[in-house]
Amino acid sequence: MITLKKITKIYTTGKIKLEALKDINLEIDQGEFVAIMGPSGSGKSTLLNILGCMDNPTSGNYYLYEQDVAGLSETDLSGIRNKTFGFVFQSFNLLNYLNAGQNIELPLVYSDHPYSQQKVLTSLEKVNLTERAMHKPQELSGGQQQRVAIARALVNNPGIILADEPTGNLDSKSGQDIMQILTSLNNEGITVILVTHDDHVASSAHRIIHIRDGKVFSDTRTRKKKHHEKPVKLHAGQGKSFFSIKKIKQNLMIALKSIIMKKMRTFLTTLGILIGVASVISMISIGEGAKADITSNIKKMGANLLFIHAGARHRGMSSALTAERNRLTMKDAEMITEEEKNLITALTPMVNTSGTVVYQNRSIKPNIQGVNTHFPEINNFKIKYGSFFDDKAINLKDRVAVVGNTVVSNLFDGKNPVGSYIKINRLNFLIIGTFEPKGASFMRDEDEMIAIPVTTAQKRLLGIDYISSINIKVKDENLMDAAEERIKALLKRAHGLKENDEADFEIRSQMELLQNVQQTTKTFTLLLGGIASISLLVGGIGIMNIMLVTVMERIKEIGLRKAIGARKSDILYQFLTESIIICFLGGLIGILLGMTVSKLIAQFTQWKTSVSYFSILLSFLFSFLIGLFFGIYPAYKASSLRPIEALRYE
């Protein structure tokens, strides 16, 4: 069954080399009960670890069921440890956060055979511990813990039991019970190989091998072994099923137990992800709210609007500078009205300015617009109190005004101001009406404005003969392009420009403005989201640090899992699962916090916010990817540990 040929094991520490085993030649047949004895440091535990495929010899050949172990892959060796061997350790190596039954079923988790609860119950019956299945290790005596370890070794029906000082930490009565169990297992045909210092323990064996200074000193058969005809073959490999329901459940359970046991650490770990996700959602909600608000305000005015401004963008010169040389006039507005009446519904010349507005002992500086009677129709303003001025007021250059809701609130405490006089740049104006509130947008307050006759603004307020712009409402959205081309040609002729000359004015449509604003707010939103994402990155680094600490704390557990058949991928998935769960928890709480912050921003500021499904999905995806990315290195480091190195770690 087992053949060792010239096995040598050398440990190297710096420049020091320690030869633990020297040219070991050994054969062990099926069904034997072998005791390996020797003083401390003689190499007996090293020999047992090589037999159990938990360590590799430096040189020599190890044949298990006539197959050279050196030619097997790591996955094959994991399968051998899972199915061929059952390990019993001196220190029991039970996981304290699992009960006895859960500890026993661990090898089944890493087996490619269907999970069977009956196997766990059968193993418990063999060690007489059925009534203690739900108890955790700290609730069991030393002897009971070792019996649980033996039951764990038996659960996959192995052909060989490897026991390293199985009675070393037990009292004599418990030790006798353990040896009786091992003897009965051997009587059933299972090969038992144990390491011991105790002659009384060794006396139960059929064969005693003494090791001294890394060499076989003596090999004595004390009694004839029983012959077993049961054919045995090497179980190498574990199939290709990396994922099983039992394995996923076990990984989730382990991760959750670890998280619950380390509550403060988990909270501090998730804090970075939590803040990052909340920041991303709240920042994107501000950008999306601004975009929705501005878009809504523009759409309220309609998509069939054209805006004409003096000046043009060319040769790096802004329209504000070229407008100083090129003016729009009332004649331009009148000409468009007359010539293009088949295309347009309404038109208003605009004179935009600002100034100090005073009522009694209060003063404000609102936006003042000189307009004609079509202004409310074009800009979608509705009258709340009083009325809008008429053509007569424009012709007479009357000092009358219609004020927005913010002006009413600031100067008149929200009371109806119709009939009151205000001073605009020291000139008295009679308030004849107020507008319905339109609300504040992200960019400006639409209600902080005063409309006066355009002629009054020109002659009485500013002393100018030109206008700032012309706002036009086209009859139909489908006529926008035609109206723009005809008005452009008309103004060029009026300004003495040829067809190929560059215009000294600029025409923009409401749709173009809407697209520009949406693009700007999109860039703004991405910028805010990018800045907030930095905190997610910082949180991810924190997770990697904590997971590295977790790996160091659980190295012995990793060694145990590898000893009972866990593959590299199994350990990788286990720690990745824990990392991802932490990020998911942080992500979920962060989403709730981000939504709450967004609502608070909207409630206590004038900014509108809009939490989008995109931002939630993006944040959640980010938290998952961060858990995956920053959990890979600690998980890989854990999975790369050799079982014997991990079990010996202090």
CATH number of domain containing 213: 3.40.50.300
Q: Which pLDDT band, with edges at 50, 70 and 90, does 463 fall under?
A: very high
Q: Which residue has the higher pLDDT, 238 or 582?
A: 582
- Is residue 186 in some structural domain? yes
> Do 480 and 394 share a structural domain?
yes
Q: Which pLDDT band, with edges at 50, 70 and 90, does 583 fall under?
A: confident
List of E strands, 372-461: 383-386, 400-403, 421-424, 427-435, 449-453
- Is residue 310 in some structural domain? no
Lookup result for tokens 């139960």: 204
Which of 212, 241, 270 terminates a domain? The answer is 241
- Is residue 316 in some structural domain? no
- Is residue 405 in some structural domain? yes
> Do 608 and 478 share a structural domain?
no
Looking at residue 241, its pLDDT comes to 47
Over range 397-401, report the average pLDDT: 96
Q: Burial, 197: exposed, middle or buried (Cβ in 10 Å; 0-12, 13-18, 19+)?
A: middle
Looking at residue 240, its pLDDT comes to 43
Over range 331-357, report the average pLDDT: 92
> Do 575 and 485 share a structural domain?
no
Please state, in angstroms and rounded to a whole number, the distance separating the CA atoms of residues 275 and 273.
6
Looking at residue 36, its pLDDT comes to 93
Q: Which pLDDT band, with edges at 50, 70 and 90, does 318 fall under?
A: very low
Looking at residue 316, its pLDDT comes to 44
Q: Which pLDDT band, with edges at 50, 70 and 90, does 237 fall under?
A: low
Q: Burial, 583: exposed, middle or buried (Cβ in 10 Å; 0-12, 13-18, 19+)?
A: buried
Instruction: Give the range with max mean pLDDT: 186-190, 222-226, 284-288, 641-645.
Output: 186-190
CB 460 within 8 A of CB 401: no
> Do 612 and 534 share a structural domain?
yes
Q: pLDDT tens-digit profile of 615-625?
A: 788 777 777 77
CA 637 vs CA 247, 489, 549, 551, 646: distances in Å: 20, 73, 11, 8, 12
Which of 241, 269, 304 terminates a domain? The answer is 241
Q: pLDDT tens-digit profile of 127-179?
A: 888 888 899 999 999 889 989 999 999 888 888 999 988 888 888 888 888 88
Over range 9-33, report the average pLDDT: 87
Lookup result for tokens 């040219």: 23
> Do 553 and 419 share a structural domain?
no
DSSP class of 73: -
Would the pTM count as exceeding 0.75?
no
Q: pLDDT tens-digit profile of 525-562?
A: 677 667 766 776 777 777 777 777 777 878 888 888 88
Looking at residue 476, its pLDDT comes to 84
> Do 26 and 154 share a structural domain?
yes
> Do 581 and 455 share a structural domain?
no
> Do 551 and 440 share a structural domain?
no
- Give the structural domain span for 468: 327-502
User: Mean pLDDT, the chain, as a whole number?
Assistant: 83
CA 31 vs CA 61, 164, 192, 261, 479: distances in Å: 22, 18, 8, 44, 97
| H or E element at residue 411 | helix 405-412
Looking at residue 301, its pLDDT comes to 59
Phi, psi of 619 (to 5 degrees): -65, -40
Total of domains in the chain: 3
> Do 352 and 272 share a structural domain?
no
- Is residue 448 in some structural domain? yes
> Do 386 and 280 share a structural domain?
no
- Is residue 228 in some structural domain? yes
Looking at residue 529, its pLDDT comes to 67
Helices (H), 227-262: 245-261
> Do 354 and 219 share a structural domain?
no
Which of 440, 470, 502 terminates a domain? The answer is 502
Looking at residue 604, its pLDDT comes to 80
List of E strands, 74-182: 85-88, 160-164
Least confident residue range of 76-90, 118-132, 625-639: 625-639
> Do 62 and 198 share a structural domain?
yes
- Is residue 248 in some structural domain? no
Least confident residue range of 310-314, 556-560, 568-572: 310-314
- Is residue 533 in some structural domain? yes
Over range 406-433, report the average pLDDT: 94
